Structure 1
Amino acid sequence: MVLEAGRSPAAEDSSEKLLSHHKEKHFTSGEVVRDVILGVSDGLTVPFALAAGLSGADAPSSLILTAGLAEVAAGAISMGLGGYLAAKSEADHYFREYKREQEEIVAVPDTEAAEVAQILAEYGLEAHEYGPLVIGLRKNPQAWLDFMMKFELGLEKPEAGRAVQSATAIALSYVVGGLVPLLPYMFVPAARNAMLTSVGVTLAALLFFGYVKGRFSGSRPLSGAVQTAFIGAAASAAAYAMAKAVQAV
């Protein structure tokens, strides 16, 4: 086995042992989880506020349910389309910059190499330290291009089919979230009783969702649960109060 210069077999064994015992824990949920969080969050909040507002206007359960389901369908389509366009735009931007950077590496390699040196210098490396790295990258155009995309432009290569995946995840999550506040109106005939049941069910769902979101994102789960529930409650209360105010006019 050929070892790197300056590294002994003992150092190699020590490094391997350290890596085997050291297990890092990072948030690696990916963009799909972000899409699900976005879809469920809006799905729980918007139909909840709509149902509360119609309840404040003394609408019957059948009308609230019909309007709520229509909103869920329209919201899912709108949110899914927005996710698709956003992901498609990001992918188009990445490949435009990729082509431009690829052309610059061929046309002005010395300028691009100087940019690599500047980037490495910003990390505290001296000229004698980053010099061999710059030379190594110049010998490997693909690695050089990947380095520039990531460290100069801060762009990650999008996954294939990301736009469709994003649209699907957001739309389905919105539907799942949106059905939660509407379920009581399917089984409780009296609109007022259905609204009270919907408030309890949705607040519980918001607390649970906020807690799970906090766990995934690495933030404080309890704080996330309370914050999410508060936002949903505030939106529904505002809609309910507005409906009552309009009725009173």
Structure 2
Amino acid sequence: MQSTLDPYPLSFSCEAAGWRDGEQFVSLHCLTYLVKGELLLDDGHTCTLLKEGDLFFCRKNQLLRFRKPQEKVKDFKTVTLFFAERFLGDFANEYPIRLSENVAVPSVQRIENNIIKSFMDSLQAYEPFLATPSENALVPLKLREALLLMLQHLPQYGSILFDFSNPVKKDLSTFMEKNFHFNVPLERFALLTGRSLTSFKRDFKAIYGESPARWIIRKRLESAYEMITQQEKTAVEIYQDLGFRDLSHFSYAFKKQYGLNASQVKKNR
């Protein structure tokens, strides 16, 4: 499950969504209240387990893998506000904002603030009116209210929400070694490392001596081989975690690389 378009500013997700796990490019800052259920978020560095009643903030321009425990799939609901850059820019022009110094905030940050939790919980009462895109004047009002509450009670988030600069240029090899398993287009990898697609491909070739697409597939298959032979994993257990879109795609690539399918490699180890 991937997102490439800006979502509707207010989202109510529930058991009807039906998904258990997947991955997503987070294009916008978002604030989420977990009404019921559990959710595990993995940014490639840290896993964060969120439970019923938790409030959390996700920074924009990052990769996240999400997973719900199997037994919790049919008992799950969240309320999420998405903050588009244009909306934040308009807000900054309308309200005087005193930004604090830049602070290091993780990709996913649990927030302990009962006032903001109560506000997010109250949005459920508006669900019949706010859950679908329309000419609904309440949506921007609720977004403004959320921002005002955050700036008042969590002023350290101002320097994050109203930072409109592009992602800084990152060490490409360090980033890719940690994130090759995310199934996103090369354009996303380029953006997240602070490069144009052309610069990304050029820098990548200079470091690894091969194209990004070939390196990513090879790296995923090498990881798969290690997990199968050293950790006794099966193809079904690992193909999604390694960024393959489906089991048949993984099986074809694995056999092409090693001449045997995953079960044969496991049996012959």
| TM-score between the two structures when normalised by the length of structure 2 | 0.21
Structure number having the greater strand percentage = 2
Q: Which has the larger radius of gyration?
A: 1
- Could you say which structure has the greater relative contact order, defined with CA pairs below 8 angstroms and 6 or more residues apart? 1
